[in-house]
Structure 1
Amino acid sequence: MSIGERIRSERERLGMSQPEFAKFAGTTKQTLFSWETDKTYPNAGQMAALTKAGVDVMYVLTGVNLPLDYQRNIESMMKVTAEMDPDGSTSLTKKFYEGVGKMAPPPEPEPEPELKLSRKDRAFWDMYKELDEKDQREIYHDIQEKKRLAELERYYQENERKKNA
């Protein structure tokens, strides 16, 4: 997944429209579109501003969800870079992106024990893995909506039962 795709993924995870997200970065919707299509990239100041919106900047830059202490160190480096090169016009911002790209990822966590799935669940999971990210996200949201509807139905039935009692 590219930086642009990860920017879009973070925007969607936060439930923001392009104009809302662009506002946090101090830019325009057109510039954000350029980022999301990998035509250009945000400078360090814009990335620092996006952290305030809840963007996992390390994920955007590296594609890896780093531990919190790694994230804080990189955010500090980004803040200094943004102060020294606010518009990203010098090679400092480029060096920052190169440096982050060369960081060694954190050690992999111990694998969790494999779950025992029914044949039906295994077939669903195998099908799900083959889908692109957009379709996976739609299925995930559908499942969440169905869970929420079931909760609302239980709540409604409980209240009706209490009224009639």
Structure 2
Amino acid sequence: MSNFGSRLAEERKRLGMNQTDFGALAGVLKQAQLTYEKGTRKPDSAYLEAVFAHGVDVTYLVSGKRALSQADMERELDLLSTAWQALDEALLSAGKTMPADKKRLAAEALYQAVRSGDGEAAPLAKLLIKAA
């Protein structure tokens, strides 16, 4: 099971640093860094701010989930935009409308299907509209 200390050590190693040098990024000595990685002490927010400034994924340290990179965020937004556009075009070509709440759910389902590799947005949107 991953905990804060093991994730901190993982991030330090990802950056190719030893405990002394990594701790120095945030103004702490090796011993303090060691206690953070062992989980016997927790760093303060100033430490987290300092290591964040040096490329540490603080979201991962705290939650165990990686933060999305800018490229990943742009890819997700592009997929979502494509899903909405395909849904709008399918509704228009079928001469149908959909209440906003149902349209949001349909766009979300379409986005998830395309995201998981289950097909292209436009053909799936047409099938979705036919089924509606």
Tell me how far 1:112 sits from its aligned partner: 5.1
Task: Name the residue aligned to 1:55.
Answer: 56
Task: Name the residue aligned to 2:116.
Answer: 111
Distance 2:34 2:44 in 1: 15
**Residues 5, 38 of structure 2: 8 Å contact kept:** yes
Distance 1:9 1:112 in 2: 30
Among all aligned residue pairs of Structure 1 and Structure 2, give the percentage whose two residues are the same amino acid: 31
**Residues 35, 41 of structure 2: 8 Å contact kept:** yes
Tell me how far 1:52 sits from its aligned partner: 1.4
Runs (4+) off by over 4 Å? none
1:61-108 per-position Cα deviation (integer Å, ceiling 9, x unaligned)? 100012358xxxxxxxxxxxxxxxxxxxxxxxxxxxxxxxxxxxxxxx
Match of 1:50, SS state, is helix
Tell me how far 1:53 sits from its aligned partner: 1.5
**Residues 5, 37 of structure 2: 8 Å contact kept:** yes
CA root-mean-square deviation? 1.8
Scaled by the length of structure 2, the TM-score of the pair is 0.52
Tell me how far 1:25 sits from its aligned partner: 1.1
**Mind listing any 5+ residue stretches in structure 2 that lack a counterpart?**
71-111, 119-132
Larger relative contact order (Cα-Cα within 8 Å, sequence gap ≥ 6): 2
Letter in 2 for 1:111: S
**Mind listing any 5+ residue stretches in structure 1 that lack a counterpart?**
70-108, 114-165
| Structure of higher CA gyration radius | 2
Scaled by the length of structure 1, the TM-score of the pair is 0.42
